[in-house]
Amino acid sequence: MNKDSLSDLIPVFLFLAMIFVKIFVVCMIFVTVIVFFYLPVNTTSASEAVMPMVSETLPPTMLSIQDAAIANSEWSKESVALASNTIPVTPFPIPTLAPTPTAIQIPQSDPAAAQTAIANTVIISSPLQGFEIGGLPELISQPFVLPPPGEDSGHHGVDFAFWNRGNKPILGNPIMAVFSGTIAMSDSQEKPPYGYALLIETPLDSLPQNVIHAIKIPTQPIGTVINNKLNCPDLSHDQWNSSKKSLYTLYGHMISAPGFKIGDSIQSGQNIGFVGNSGLSSAPHLHLEMRIGPSGATFANMGHYDPKTTEEDRHNYCNWRVSGVFQMFDPMQLLKPQLVTQ
């Protein structure tokens, strides 16, 4: 091929190259439009289609996994803050307390009927409505842990907690009186660590022998030296008549003030309040304590671990918790199906 022929082909090659470049540029523009305009719109619409389905599956009161694992003991001296990403809890409407039931009067002229009624009397009730005593161990989130004498450590009672059982949360679940008795404390103010709490006294001589024998009280001498760092007033001048003993049951972290007054009569199985998260509590649960102490003891209030508590609050708290006058034991010793009736 001569030089004249090659020179004639150069314009053809240039023309084809320009066409190829133009096609390449057009393709790049098309791809750019797809990437920067079309895909974001489709992605947004797809996420909008999915998100409502996800949000609808989240319960409005769900807490973090970390908080769900905690049913903090009330003596921990501090509240555990909820995670910052926790979904706000919907305020729970406080139910109205059920009226105090009227005692059934049995004619004295019919001793046989009286004996039958006594034999069928429920002595111990489950503290949680809707849950049998036999199923309570499954609800324990923190068991009883005996502390050294005089120490406000360990865990002085047993905690019952769950997040959802049969589509029912524990928050607001009715609390029932385990034993019949009289109110020994019903503070209308939320005091740390127990929050809204109720204390019921049951004389030991009103309980059958099999219930009394089931109580295994650890050795804890009255007059225990308070060797921890509690801010306790002087308890040495307190006088207690221990000639007669009673069983005291405390219900802590209620959702609101119980609404009773000292001396009110309570029947076993009676609704006395609702499970809450008051006081030094990191998650809704019922804290249940049982102690044996001198009969006739009453407390106007009880509290500690906060500057807002009064000297009387701390005095009562120290007497109850660490003085040794009121001797604690594991409530699960009495929450057994075989002890429910006489």
Contact 199, 249 (CB under 8 A): yes
pLDDT at 22: 79
Preceding omega of 258 cis (within 30 degrees of 0): no
Phi, psi of 259, rounded to the nearest 5 degrees:
90, 15
Residue 62's Cα: distance from chain center in Å?
Answer: 14
Beta strand ranges found along the chain (DSSP E): 140-142, 158-160, 174-176, 181-186, 196-203, 245-254, 265-266, 271-274, 286-294, 327-329
pLDDT at 50: 35
End-to-end CA distance of the chain: 123
Task: Tell me the C-alpha distance between 164 and 25, whole Å.
Answer: 62
Contact 282, 79 (CB under 8 A): yes
Task: Tell me the C-alpha distance between 203 and 135, whole Å.
Answer: 27
Residue-range domains of the chain with CATH = 65-79+122-339 (2.70.70.10)
Name the amino acid, one letter, at 205: D
Neighbours of 129 (CB within 10 A): 14
This prediction has a pTM of 0.68
pLDDT tens per residue across all 342 residues of the chain:
555 565 667 777 777 778 877 787 778 887 776 666 555 444 434 433 333 333 333 333 333 333 333 333 443 333 333 333 333 434 444 444 443 333 333 334 454 544 444 444 568 999 999 999 999 999 999 999 998 888 899 999 999 999 888 788 999 999 999 999 999 999 888 999 999 999 999 999 999 999 999 998 765 556 667 766 788 888 888 888 888 999 999 999 999 999 999 999 999 999 999 999 999 898 999 999 999 999 999 999 999 988 889 999 999 999 999 998 999 999 999 999 988 864
Task: Tell me the C-alpha distance between 58 and 55, whole Å.
Answer: 5
Residue whose tokens read 């006395």: 272
Contact 280, 287 (CB under 8 A): no
pLDDT at 329: 94
pLDDT at 123: 86
Residue whose tokens read 């489709």: 42
pLDDT at 144: 95
Task: Tell me the C-alpha distance between 272 and 288, whole Å.
Answer: 13
pLDDT at 213: 92
